[in-house]
Amino acid sequence: MRALILVLTAAMLAACASSGTQVDPAKVATFQRGRTTASEVQAALGPPNGMSVLPDGSRVMVYTYVHSQARPETFIPIIGGFVGGADATMQTVSFTFGPDGMLRSGSMYQSQTGTGMGLSAH
C-alpha cells in the first residue's frame, strides 16, 4: 500500500511543469514611466525571456511564464484518460523603453485555462 501511495504521489508531482520568469505584480507597480530605466527593470526582474529593438531605437522587453498541472483524476486507472485533464496559468508582461532607455509603457496579461472534462461534485 505504501508503494502505491509513493508511486501516485511521485506521478502527481511529475505532472507539474513551469517555464519562464514569473513576475511579481507588486514589483511592476513600482516602475514609473519616464523614470525607470531598462537596467532597473532587469535588476528587479532578471533578464527578459525576449527582447526586440524597434527601428526608432526603442526596445521591448517581454517576460513570459507558464505553469501547467495535471488534475488528480487524470491518474485514476482506466478512466483517467477520459475524465482527466490539466490546468494552466499563463502570464505575459511587456515593457517598452525609448531610445534613451526610459520606460514608456508596460502591460501585464494573465490567464487561466483548463483542458479535459474533469470530475465535479454537485
Over the stretch 24-73, which tens digit does the pLDDT of each residue have?
A: 999 999 999 999 999 999 999 999 999 999 999 999 999 999 988 877 66
pLDDT class for 120, splitting at 50, 70, 90? very low
What's residue 46's pLDDT?
Answer: 95
Over the stretch 68-87, which tens digit does the pLDDT of each residue have?
A: 887 766 566 666 556 667 77
Q: Is the pLDDT of residue 4 over 50?
A: no
Report how far residue 40's alpha carbon sits from residue 54's, in angstroms, rounded to the nearest whole number: 20
The b/e string for 13-47 (b: 16+ C-beta within 10 A; e otherwise) is eebeeeebeebeeeebeebeeeebebebbeeebee
Mean pLDDT confidence for 89-113:
94
Average pLDDT of the chain?
81
